[in-house]
Amino acid sequence: MGGPLLACDEAGEPDGDALLHPAQRLRSAVRVSGRMRTASVECVAEEVPVAMVYNGISHAVMLATPADLEDFGTGFSLAEGIVARASEIHDIDTAHHVDGIEVRMRVSNRAFDALKARRRSLAGRTGCGLCGVDSLGQVSREVKPVAARPSVDEAAIHRAFVALGEGQALHALTGSVHAAAWAHADGTLFAVREDVGRHNALDKLIGAVALAGLDTAQGFAVVTSRASYEMVLKLASVGGGLLAAISAPTGLAIDLAGRTGVTLCGFVRDGRMAIYTGSRTSTATQTE
């Protein structure tokens, strides 16, 4: 779950002599309430460049919260299809620099050869990344339909969201990070991961689940964000069968969930939800 977070008092001052967790820092601010202005020290979430480095070659750099970086590297590698399984990552460590952090991974020859081939296919493209139909066709990555058939009822999904709200330690201090959690079929949580980026939080969660050796067919993911195409793609890539989001999905996310067999739920809050694809919640939806 990462190191302990620092507890701050009502003025934002650190409690006792505790050291700041690297995921957060203290910054000066002025709180305004009506005509009242009060100097304060606020706990804010940290955001740093994190480079994913494979066999000595940097592949991608994300702005992320510097916590749970082994989970992050593992989950990113799996969700992006760089490795087929966590065991293809033979070694992983981090290197801290003045301008950011490197997550250094040594991967199998098969994975590294495939990554080099992918990098060659990306060379020379225009800067916008997805410019025109040809580029979109090359960049889009489809995944096979998922085999997972988690037996989950709607009460379990709501139970997971209640627990997620109680388990967001960094968000409670800073108010500025997303969370992703893995829930067992009964709605109890296995792990919560937080990050300034919703995709990063899901990558960290995927890594935690993989490193623990959990069967993705026996649980589901819940997220404190909208459900974008990329979020569905990441979960489907590792065989996850159900994604529940506190906010809305996008149309492209619904299309992908339908093609891959992922049950996609949105607007999960206050005892309600919308089920857009799949029928893997065991309680039938009633039409009023």
Q: Can you give the pTM of this predicted structure?
A: 0.85
> Residue 162 has what pLDDT?
96
CB 219 within 8 A of CB 182: yes
Model confidence at 118, in pLDDT bands (50, 70, 90)? confident
Is 146 inside a domain boundary?
A: no
Q: Look up the domain containing 62 and give its range.
A: 48-122
Q: Are residues 109 and 175 in the same domain?
A: no
Q: Are residues 63 and 160 in the same domain?
A: no
CB 135 within 8 A of CB 129: yes
Q: Are residues 19 and 107 in the same domain?
A: no
What pLDDT, in 10s, does the model give residues 20-60?
A: 678 888 999 999 999 999 999 999 999 999 999 999 999 99
Q: Are residues 223 and 158 in the same domain?
A: yes
What pLDDT, in 10s, does the model give residues 178-224?
A: 999 999 999 999 999 999 999 999 999 999 999 999 998 889 999 99
What secondary structure does DSSP assign to 228-244, as a single string?
-HHHHHHHHHTT--EEE
Residue 196, judged by CB atoms within 10 A of its CB (0-12, 13-18, 19+), counts as buried
Catalytic residues: 128
Say if residue 126's pLDDT is above 70: no
> Residue 130 has what pLDDT?
37
Is 112 inside a domain boundary?
A: yes
Could you tell me how many helices (H) and strands (E) the chain has, helices first? 8, 12
What pLDDT, in 10s, does the model give residues 231-275?
A: 999 999 999 999 999 999 999 999 999 999 999 999 999 999 999
Is 67 inside a domain boundary?
A: yes
